[in-house]
Chain A
């Protein structure tokens, strides 16, 4: 299986901060990567697919980049609604689908 490693596991930040989360794959996955946001007691919500394609309705302060084994999710100006846990997920067609361990963005 392809292992997905996210860093940091927890990130403390303030409203207005620029934050970046990193996701690394154990082998190349091209751009077969999605990002999700999850709030307590809720299901994950799809933010980005194909490594950098923003889903409809997702604020433009979210952006993502990467290919191969290294990927990033950036929130340009953190808003109160953005405090949540973020997960990456790979969907390489020759491997079981796997998720990263998550990055909790908390209030500083």
Chain B
């Protein structure tokens, strides 16, 4: 059974880069049978899909964040990562990593979430 676990700093200063990692256990991120996504949830904007990566490293991002976001794979550690640069208070949210095994766009497995606060 695949499990996902987010990790990273809980506090980031404005204008800096938010970095989170999702560790996948019970399955391989390079198997090619899933998309791996980042989703965030804030009080102001509800659930917001950020983007996803596939086993070959190809990525898709939501247009509103595309200029500030990078998702990447670390196959040696079976992890995928999120970087959001030039953060503001509006980026304060709980960040989830999630798996889409259908390859169609719904999320069958989620991490428990990681709260990131942007504040000086």
Which A residues fall within an 8 A CB radius of B?
Answer: 1, 32, 34, 36, 42-46, 49, 55, 87, 89, 91-93, 96-102
A89–B41 Cα distance when bound, in Å, is: 14
A35 nearest CB neighbor, chain B only? B106
For residues 105 through 119 of chain B, which have their beta carbon under 8 Å from a beta carbon of chain A?
105-108, 110-113
| A-binding residues in B (CB < 8 A) | 37, 46-49, 62-63, 96, 98, 102, 104-108, 110-113
Please determine whether B106 and A42 come into contact, CB atoms closer than 8 angstroms: no
Closest to B102 in A: A49
9 A-B pairs besides A34-B107, A49-B104 with CB distance below 8 A are A42-B113, A43-B98, A46-B106, A87-B47, A89-B105, A89-B106, A89-B107, A97-B62, A98-B49
Identify whether the interface residues of A are mostly helix, strand, loop, or mixed: loop
| A44 lies within 8 A of B105 (CB) | no
- Listed by A's residue number, 21 A-B pairs whose Cβ atoms lie within 8 Å are A32-B105, A34-B106, A36-B107, A43-B96, A43-B98, A43-B112, A46-B106, A46-B107, A46-B108, A49-B106, A89-B106, A91-B104, A92-B105, A93-B104, A93-B105, A96-B49, A96-B63, A97-B49, A97-B62, A101-B46, A102-B46
Q: A43 to B106, Cβ gap below 8 A?
A: no
Are B107 and A44 in contact, with the CB atoms below 8 A? yes
Query: Is the Cβ of B105 less than 8 Å from the Cβ of A43?
Result: no
Cα(A55)–Cα(B84), bound, Å: 33
Smallest CB-CB separation from B110: which chain A residue? A43
The CA of A50 and the CA of B34, in the complex, are separated in Å by 17
Give Cα distance in the complex from A99 to B41, angstroms: 11
What residues on A are CB-neighbors of B113 within 8 Å?
A: 42-43
Q: Are B49 and A99 in contact (CB under 8 A)?
A: yes
